[in-house]
Structure 1
Amino acid sequence: MATTESMKARDVMHAGTQCVGENQTLLDASRMMRDLNVGCVPICGSDDRLKGMITDRDIVVRCCAEGREPASVMASEFAGELHWIDAEAPITETLEIMETHQIKRLPVIDVRNGHRLVGMISEANLARNIPDEQLAEFVERVYAA
């Protein structure tokens, strides 16, 4: 394993991330999450570029709890603020972005190869790749009130 100082986002990410299309429904997104056994999927446009992220919590709290029908709501409505990391960025920068914005999943973009989505970094990826002390600090900052 590389040292934390030399690790890049690419070294830690889960590759092969699948997107829900911006013109697909939240029902499509929820089925994709079920089939992939994940709690979040990226939203991609017809140009294959990352447009946002949708979580299972978004679907429940921002759609169902408001009385909206997931089969009639487009994923693009939930794109929201987007944070991402370049695949070649140091893992320390990844941690900084996730901690600052208190996010648990971060899309990885290959800026040098057409600005395409190449993976996702989650807490589980971090837990497998960074020292316990650094992980504890991350958890404390992300879950702070």
Structure 2
Amino acid sequence: MKVREAMTRNVQVADPTETIEQAAKLMADLDVGSLPVGQDDQLVGMITDRDIAVRAVATGKGPGTKVREVMSKNIKYCFDDEEIEVVSRNMGDIQVRRLPVIDRDKRLVGILSLGDMAVNDASAAARALGGVSRPAGAHNQR
């Protein structure tokens, strides 16, 4: 199965000049934990609820902070014509629950989440979840 057959289309995109408050409200309205960040028809980053909590709130930045100041710029993505099996292994390896999907012209065309995979290819979702769930580093909470 190809990524394009399972991905979520019509993805809302945050602008890097918007505030984190605007991004958080959009996430709340959409009931999502992350948004791709785009500018001039190009994917330039991702912002997550964790980015807002850890990179903004925890460091004393306020709701007027621009998305570009706290977004993740090292973007992991997949192509819409890739096989789900390959992408699910990659998601597990890099420990992410969702990936922006781009076409070969590098335009954002969707998002592929573990939920999308679970609905369309349960074995691929299980493979990705197994990798995502493994400990990534030292944890201090006991």
**Consecutive unaligned residues in structure 1, runs of 5 or more:** 1-6
**Residue range with higher mean Cα deviation, 58-67 or 101-110:** 58-67
Q: What is the match of residue 100 of structure 2?
A: 107
Any idea what SS the aligned residue of 1:54 has? strand
Question: 2:4 — aligned with what?
Answer: 10
**Structure 2 equivalent of residue 3 of structure 1:** none
Unaligned runs of 5+ in 2: 136-142
CA contact (8 A) 2:16 2:68 kept: yes
Q: CA deviation at 1:48?
A: 1.6
1:38 and 1:134 mapped to 2: Cα distance? Answer: 21
Which whole-Å deviations, capped at 9, do the CAs of 1:6-47 have from their partners, x for residues lacking one?
Answer: x111011000001000111111110110111111100001x1
For residue 47 of structure 2, what is the aligned residue in structure 1?
54
Determine the structure 2 residue equivalent to 1:125: 116
Contact kept? 1:14, 1:119, Cα under 8 Å: yes
Question: Pick from 80, 87, 90: which aligns with 2:83?
Answer: 90
Q: Deviations over 1:81-139 (max 9, x none)?
A: 1011111111122112211210011001011xx421111011110110113x4433321
Maintained 8 Å contact 2:11/2:109: yes
With normalisation by structure 1, the TM-score equals 0.86
Runs of 4+ displaced beyond 3 Å: none
Query: Percent identity between the aligned chains?
Result: 36
Rounded Cα–Cα distance in structure 2 between residues aligned with 1:10 and 1:54: 22
Q: Does 1:116 align with 2:107?
A: yes
Superposition RMSD on alpha carbons, in Å?
1.3
Task: Quote the Cα distance in structure 2 between the aligned partners of 1:135 and 1:18.
Answer: 23
1:75 matched to 2:64: no
Shift of 1:54: 0.7
Given candidates 19, 36, 41, the residue that maps to 1:25 is: 19
Does the CA-based 8 Å contact 2:118-2:124 persist in structure 1? Answer: no
Aligned residues: 134
Letter in 2 for 1:94: V
User: 2:4 aligns to what SS in structure 1?
Assistant: helix
What is the TM-score normalised by the length of structure 2?
0.88
**CA displacement at 1:57 relative to structure 2:** 1.4
Q: Separation in 1 of the partners of 2:124 and 2:106?
A: 29
